[in-house]
Chains A and B, each alone.
Chain A
Amino acid sequence: KEEDDFKDEL
Chain B
Amino acid sequence: MNIFRLAGDMTHLLSILVLLLKIYATKSCSGISRKTQELYAIVFMARYLDLFTDFISVYNTFMKLIFIASSLAIVWCMRFHPVVRRSYDRELDTFRYFFLVGASFALALVWHDKFTLQEVFWAFSIYLEAVAILPQLVLLQRSGNVDNLTGQYVFFLGAYRAFYILNWIYRYMTEPRFTRWIAGISGVVQTALYADFFYYYFISWKNNSKLKLPA
Is B177 in contact with A4, judged by CB distance below 8 angstroms?
yes
Given known contacts A4-B177, A4-B178, is B50 in contact with A9 (CB within 8 Å)?
no
In the bound complex, do residue A7 and residue B122 qualify as a contact, i.e. CB atoms below 8 Å apart? yes
B12 at the binding interface (Cβ < 8 Å)? yes
Is chain B's interface secondary structure helix, strand, loop, or mixed overall? helix
Q: Mark A1-10, 1 if CB is under 8 A from B, else 0.
A: 0001101111
* A7 to chain B: closest residue by CB: B122
When the two chains form their complex, are residues B177 and A8 in contact, meaning their CB atoms are under 8 A apart? no
Question: Binding site of A, secondary structure by majority: helix, strand, loop or mixed?
Answer: loop
Given A10-B64, A10-B67, verify A4-B175 contact (CB < 8 Å). yes
Q: In the docked arrangement, what's the CA distance between A10 and B175, Å?
A: 18
- Is B5 close to A, CB under 8 A? yes
Closest chain A CB from B67 CB (angstroms): 7
B183 touches A9 (CB 8 A): yes
Rank and list the top 6 A-B pairs by shortest CB-CB distance, nearest first: A8-B56, A10-B63, A4-B177, A5-B113, A10-B9, A4-B178
- A interface residue numbers (CB < 8 A to B): 4-5, 7-10
